[in-house]
Each structure stands twice: as C-alpha cells, then as structure tokens.
Chains A and B, each alone.
Chain A
C-alpha cells in the first residue's frame, strides 16, 4: 500500500476538511491533476471544478469555485474561495450559478474581467455536464 498524503481543504471562513488520502485530484488552471504522496513541491492556481479525495477506495467529492493549492511531498493544502461538499450540491444551485456567471460575463466592464467570467462559466458547465 502506497503512503498516504495529508490533505487540508480550507475556505476563508473555515477549515472544511483535514485528513489523509491516497490521492487527491484538483482542478488546476492548466488541467486536472492527481496528487499522491511524494509529489514534487508545487504551487498552483485552481479553476472552478471538482476536488476528488480518494482514500481506501472511497471517494469524497467537493465543488470549489477557484482557489490555490500548495503541494509538497507529504501534504497538499487547498485554499478554496468557496467549497461545497458534493452531497450538498444540487442541479438547481448549479444552474443558478451558471445563470449568474452568464450575467456577469455580459455585465463585465473590462476585457480581463470578461475573460475571467467566461472561463468561470465554461468551468461551471463542465461540472454540470459531469454531474
């Protein structure tokens, strides 16, 4: 059995999860990445998407709306702007967010803002498709 990696999921308001896992999959800005013990030390930004925490054959999933992850060989810390356990997430909430994001994109004042909103919308649609 491979070694486990400790995993912290924190949002600005609270520490959501602190435990150990076999593998954690996070939605990096440049694509999903699976992190296991012994990973190279990395800091990455995250896009909106699903975090998948697998431990002893069980999967816990969380939806995050962007954030950061700090990874070293023994530990991964995810700083999420907002995180919701998959069990608390339903399609109605997700659809509402997609609608909001679409509005944001239209209301965006600058190009960079519009780009960010579009990216977020895209990510949300991916999550919805996977749901």
Chain B
C-alpha cells in the first residue's frame, strides 16, 4: 500500500502532465485553424488545374500525348510516395497513413511489382524503414515551416527527373485526406500517369495558345508539384486535428486519474487517522 506522501507526489506528476497535454491541445487548435485556411486557400488552384488538364486531355489522345499523361504503358516499376508528419503525439494519425502505405506496398510486391519508396515526413521514414528500408530512395523532412510550392518543388523535381529518366511506370502518393476535424482517412492517389476525370463529355471548345501539346507539357509537371503541395497541406491540417483530439483525450484521462488518486489518497489518510485513534482509545481504556 502506497503511503500518503507517495500518492501526493504521483498526483503532482499527473497534474504537470495534464498541463502539458492541455497546452499542446490549445497550440494544436490554433495551428489547426491556420492549416485549415491554408488547405482551403490552395484548393481553387488545384481544382482549376485539374479541370484544364481534363479538358486538354480529352483533345490530345493516344499517339502524341505527353509521357506524364499517357504513361509508359507498363506498370511493373512502382514508386510510392508516403507523406506523413514529422512529429508524433497525434493519436493514430501517422500510424494510419503508414498502415495504408504498408498494405499498398505489400499488395504491390505480392503482384510481383518492383516497388521503390520516397517518404516525406520523419515519422513515415522511421516506421517504414524497418520493413522496407532496402526500397528507400530518399527521405524528405518537412521542417517547421508550413509547406509552400517552393518547398515541395525539389521533391516534385526529383520524382519528375526519375520518371523522365525512365525509372518508373507509375507513381502513387499516399497521404491523409482531411474530411473534417474528426475524420481523416488515408488515401492513395496516382500522380503519374496523370489521372483524368472523364465522362463529363467535351465541355467548352477552347482555343489553345501556343498549342495543346506545349500547354500540357508545362501543365503536367506543375500539376505534380501542386498535387504534392495540396497533399502536404491536407496532411498538416489532419495532423493538427488529430493532435488536438489526442491531446484532448489525454487531458481528460489525466483529470480522471487525478480524481481517482485523490479519492484513494484521502481514504488512506482517513484509514491512518482511524487506526491511530483506535490505538489511543484502546491505550486509554487499558489504563
């Protein structure tokens, strides 16, 4: 049985943990708002871009379509980009992405594909390295600043260079889709060959300046950067939402624990006093 003093120290330590989780929760909430705004602000550009690409792709078919749109024709050599966060303390956020990545990679390997991996974010690298370390091409870290187009350019450029050098047939990006503050689901998105929404039928007929091919050639690489950027921005919003929820839980748990410990401590103290009283009374009665 723990003594009253031990219990008091224990309560003190749980209290300071609670302070930390509470502070982290509030920081995450503040950052979440900013990250959400950033993710929302980036959406119009990405949407417009895919709309233009869809339009163009309908016109440029088959024979002279650029490599980034048409693909190499095969699908044996796969590149998987896994985007997670740099930090933990965010519930199942990183694990969920890593689990999705692991499933995807294992499935691809089982199909006999040749899989290589690029990770973005420290947590993804740490968790995947054990199992797939020999398949890593490169690991990027996010750093402290929120992602911008300039900061994702090097990653996109590396992917494009590898693709253009004929190293890969298909490039897939796995990240977390930010549905709402409470639900984020990991998704896999095919980056190259570019996926085109079809079935909308030919929308407006456009004039192209200079011409379809050169516009596509400029658009498609840009699209890769933009897709990675929007994935990272969504990831960031998802991370903070997840961290906020996790820290909220932790704070509540700490509160419950403090209550339970306090009751236990009071009982012990009371029991000790009662025992002492009985001893004194018994002693007095004996005289």
Contacts and interface: CB of A to CB of B under 8 A. Distances in A.
* A and B from one complex: yes
Contacts of B215: 43-45, 68
B262 interface: no
A96 interface: no
Nearest to B38: A13
A107 B153 CA distance: 17
Contacts of B278: none
Kindly state the interface size class of chain B when it binds its partner: 20 to 34
B68 to A, nearest CB: 15
Kindly state the interface size class of chain A when it binds its partner: 20 to 34
A13 B208 CA distance: 26
Contacts of A70: 48, 51-52, 206
Contact of A42 (B45, B207, B225): B207
Interface string B42-53: 101110110110
B210 A12 contact: no
B222 A81 contact: yes
B246 interface: no
Interface in A10-37: 10-15, 28-30
Contacts of A12: 42, 45-46, 148-149, 225-226, 229
Contacts of B49: 68, 79
Contacts of A81: 149, 222
Nearest to A77: B48
B285 interface: no
Given A70-B206, A79-B48, 18 more contacts: A8-B44, A10-B44, A10-B45, A12-B45, A12-B148, A14-B41, A15-B41, A15-B45, A30-B209, A41-B205, A42-B208, A45-B210, A45-B214, A45-B215, A68-B218, A68-B219, A79-B49, A81-B222
6 contacts: A13-B41, A13-B148, A15-B44, A41-B206, A44-B210, A45-B215
